[in-house]
Amino acid sequence: MTMADVEAESSTQPEAMEEENPLFSNLDLFLFTLIAGLIIYWFMSRKKAEPIPEFKKLDQPAPSTRETSFIEKMKKTGRNIVVFYGSQTGTGEEFANRLSKDAQRYGMKGMAADPEEYDMSELSRLAEIGNSLAIFCMATYGEGDPTDNAQDFYDWLQETDGELDGVNYTVFALGNKTYEHYNAMGAYVDKRLEELGAKRVFDLGMGDDDGNLEEDFVTWREQFWPAMCEHFGVEASGEDSSIRQYELKEHNDINMNKVYTGELGRLKSFETQKPPFDAKNPFLAPVTVNRKLNKAGDRHLMLHFLDEMVYESGDHVAVYPTNDTAIVNRLGQILGVDLDSVISLNNLDEESNKKHPFPCPTTYRTALTHYLDIIHPPRTNVLYELAQYATDPKDQENMRKMASSAPEGKALYQSFVLEDNRNILAILEDLPSLRPPIDHLCELMPRLQARYYSIASSSKVHPNSIHICAVLVEYTTKTGRLTKGVATTWLKNKLVADNGHKSTVPMYIRKSQFRLPFKASNPVIMVGPGTGIAPFMGFIQERGWLKEQGKEVGETVLYCGCRHKKEDYLYQEELEEAEKMGVITKLNVAFSRDQEQKVYVQHLLRTNKEDLWRQIHTDNAHIYICGDARNMARDVQTAFYEIAEELGGMTRTQATDYIKKLMTKGRYSQDVWS
């Protein structure tokens, strides 16, 4: 009997008792004393309760014990080459992995490394390792900026005055010639390392994604390794055999709650949404609007997402698309595999920070749908690695030839893969003798990357939603195959309600420097044909909101364009209403194909040159360009040069310097793509 039982029992005693009877008999007192003594003895003598063990949630990673010293890791694992990468879309990382694997073919040992994960101030210690070399595959992002994962390294390079004597290095830069600051990050790293005393052992490589980045890399790489062998006194006798980085583990009896189904980082993260939301932890935003923007055809679409994140006008939204189910199923069929098999690909290098090429354990179906890029034409290293599985000697020979820098091989890759736009499925269909193991294929395919869109709304006006504007990509290749853009096709099919459930899109916000001027009274000149108008819809909404708040708002001038007024004039009603309300001071629209001679935004700029020069030179206007970098942005910049020459009395050199100074001051901003 417990004390609770005693209390409960005594509470049931009758309230009315005869006064002459004592409250307790001797027996009652004896029993009460005995029970109380036993209870006290039990409390005093019982063992201390065992502490309740803490169980980690299944979806929480164990505390990180990751090595942050790449020097110690290299010493521990006998490596002498480290390949750092600055990568935004995964290409820089892919090249770094290829160079790291190459080292093994030349009797050396390499490791690919993300500079964000290591203490880069230890670079000076690299000389402690004999015959050591640091390779940097550095991509340039935006207006000559470092990629997100290389930002800290860039800051360290700028601030440090450390000595890098004895450090051997080389750099391969990834960029695009259509941009103003072509390969700026790679060139800076190359120059700065030399200034700090490091020794350049091979020339800076320049990769141009506007041309053929793969060809640039292959050519540089094939010249680089013989030079390294000579430098280190190593015999250039690399084996041609394939080197696997991961081994397959099949899970026949596993709790499906532990299997990734599309999450990017934390298991079950799509079921339990926890901020902060970023590239590895996207927010599932419900789709609230999905409609066509153009009056004819279905090229353009607009989506609104419900969003819990803070954004500003000019920011980008990154969305994670999924591949077409039909293509995934066809891959499974042609390779004769059960796509729902649960597998893991485990890194053979146990010391590597990258344990798997994508979240594992998962299924082949999930990997091919959510994690792997199966739509873009494969790079030459994929063809080289897969060639061993071709049973036709001619197919083997051609696949290996395409991976070389020989002119014949380059031409074959250009025509068969790039010009004919063959993805991995098309290659498998057109080479019947090629049937690789699906796990090796999954190891080699690059990761499916997020797609970035300029936000077409203002958080001041739409604090709880994000708008985007996109063009549906769809075309027929030379081989007669219909090719659809991964992201836009997927977005188009995101119905507001699907079988009673809201459609969701995994996404996160990417901050931008594309910002309205701090002083609202400054004029703004916005140039954005096609979907380049997207960020300006946010700017216009914000300028209208500022006017409503009683702020002094400067001139707001828009130059936009489309092909035909009656077909693809995007946001026509909204723009005309904004001009009517005085939010847009002047609306200039170029309908390029509504007349015999094509008219583009740069033509309208020249037409309004006097107003433009006054706004820029006298009234401190801010200029914003958004859209195609290859043609439009260049032509628009040339138009501004000509206006400065004519109305500012400048030479072309002076006009160029004038516009560059506006860029430096943040008064000429570009948000462009190629």
Q: Residue 616 pLDDT > 60, yes or no?
A: yes
Q: How many Cβ atoms sit within 10 Å of the Cβ of residue 187?
A: 19
Range of the domain at 156: 70-232
Give the least confident one: 396-405, 489-498, 605-614.
489-498
Give the least confident one: 294-303, 339-348, 569-578.
294-303
Counting DSSP H helices and E strands in the chain, the numbers are 22, 25
Verify cis geometry, omega within 30 degrees of 0, for the bond prior to 523: no
pLDDT given for residue 30 in this prediction: 52
Q: Residue 457 pLDDT > 90, yes or no?
A: yes
CATH number for the domain harbouring residue 538? 3.40.50.80
Nearest CA among 658, 670, 660, 657 for reference residue 613: 658
Average pLDDT over residues 23-50: 49
In a domain, 136, yes or no: yes
Domain finish residue from 208, 232, 256: 232
Q: How many Cβ atoms sit within 10 Å of the Cβ of residue 444?
A: 24
Contacting residues for 599 by C-beta, under 8 A, at least 6 apart = 561, 590, 591, 592
pLDDT digits (tens, 9 = 90+) for 181-239: 899 999 999 999 999 999 999 999 999 998 889 999 999 999 999 999 988 888 765 55
Report the C-alpha gap between 674 and 633 in whole angstroms.
Answer: 10
Which residues are part of a known binding site for FMN? 87-92, 139-142, 174-183, 209
Give the least confident one: 302-316, 402-416, 531-545, 644-658.
302-316
pLDDT band at 135; cut points 50, 70, 90: very high
- The DSSP annotation for 273-286 comes to --SSPBTTB-EEEE
Q: What's the mean per-residue pLDDT of the chain?
A: 88
pLDDT given for residue 34 in this prediction: 55
SS3 content of the chain, % helix, strand, coil (to 5): 40, 20, 40
Average pLDDT over residues 243-260: 93
Which residues are part of a known binding site for NADP(+)? 299, 531, 592-593, 598-602, 635
In a domain, 365, yes or no: no
Domain finish residue from 181, 202, 232: 232
Secondary structure of residue 205 in the 3-state scheme: strand
Q: Residue 343 pLDDT > 80, yes or no?
A: yes
Count of structural domains, the chain:
2
Contacting residues for 297 by C-beta, under 8 A, at least 6 apart = 567, 568
Nearest CA among 487, 627, 629 for reference residue 562: 627
Nearest CA among 269, 278, 287, 352 for reference residue 317: 278
Q: Residue 49 pLDDT > 60, yes or no?
A: no
Report the C-alpha gap between 326 and 90 in whole angstroms.
Answer: 25
Give the least confident one: 33-47, 187-201, 555-569, 639-653.
33-47
Written as six digits, the tokens of 338 are: 């059960």
In a domain, 650, yes or no: yes
In a domain, 292, yes or no: no
pLDDT digits (tens, 9 = 90+) for 265-275: 899 999 999 99
- Please give the DSSP secondary-structure letter assigned to residue 178: T
Which residues are part of a known binding site? 87-92, 139-142, 174-183, 209, 299, 451-454, 469-471, 475, 485-488, 531, 592-593, 598-602, 635, 673
Q: Residue 3 pLDDT > 60, yes or no?
A: no
Average pLDDT over residues 521-533: 96
Average pLDDT over residues 319-327: 97
Average pLDDT over residues 68-87: 94
Q: How many Cβ atoms sit within 10 Å of the Cβ of residue 353?
A: 18
Q: What is the 3-state secondary structure (H, E, C) of 538-597?
A: HHHHHHHHHHHCCCCCCCEEEEEEECCHHHHCCCHHHHHHHHHCCCCCEEEEEECCCCCC
Which residues are the active-site residues? 454, 626, 671, 673
pLDDT given for residue 297 in this prediction: 64
pLDDT band at 240; cut points 50, 70, 90: low
Which residues are part of a known binding site for FAD? 451-454, 469-471, 475, 485-488, 673
CATH number for the domain harbouring residue 79? 3.40.50.360
In a domain, 213, yes or no: yes
pLDDT given for residue 234 in this prediction: 82
Q: Residue 433 pLDDT > 90, yes or no?
A: yes
In a domain, 538, yes or no: yes
- Please give the DSSP secondary-structure letter assigned to residue 387: G
Task: Describe the strand order of the beta sheet including 556-562 as a list of residue ranges.
Answer: 586-591, 556-562, 524-527, 622-628, 668-673
Domain finish residue from 204, 232, 260: 232
pLDDT given for residue 38 in this prediction: 54
pLDDT given for residue 547 in this prediction: 96
pLDDT band at 444; cut points 50, 70, 90: very high
Written as six digits, the tokens of 532 are: 């380049």
pLDDT given for residue 546 in this prediction: 97
Report the C-alpha gap between 344 and 365 in whole angstroms.
Answer: 13
Which one is predicted more confidently, 14 or 549?
Answer: 549
pLDDT given for residue 309 in this prediction: 83
Report the C-alpha gap between 623 and 285 in whole angstroms.
Answer: 32
Report the C-alpha gap between 461 and 552 in whole angstroms.
Answer: 18
In a domain, 483, yes or no: no
pLDDT given for residue 44 in this prediction: 47
Average pLDDT over residues 442-470: 94
Q: How many Cβ atoms sit within 10 Å of the Cβ of residue 131?
A: 13
Contacting residues for 158 by C-beta, under 8 A, at least 6 apart = 192
Amino acid letter, residue 56: K
Q: Residue 57 pLDDT > 90, yes or no?
A: no
Written as six digits, the tokens of 31 are: 């029993």
Verify cis geometry, omega within 30 degrees of 0, for the bond prior to 361: yes
In a domain, 142, yes or no: yes
Written as six digits, the tokens of 311 are: 């954004």
Unique residue bearing structure tokens 């003798």: 433
Q: Residue 439 pLDDT > 60, yes or no?
A: yes
pLDDT given for residue 17 in this prediction: 33
Model pTM? 0.84
Q: What is the 3-state secondary structure (H, E, C) of 622-667?
A: EEEEEEEHHHHHHHHHHHHHHHHHHHHCCCHHHHHHHHHHHHHCCC
Report the C-alpha gap between 292 and 298 in whole angstroms.
Answer: 6
pLDDT band at 301; cut points 50, 70, 90: confident
pLDDT given for residue 674 in this prediction: 75
pLDDT given for residue 307 in this prediction: 78
Q: Residue 1 pLDDT > 50, yes or no?
A: no
Q: Residue 157 pLDDT > 60, yes or no?
A: yes
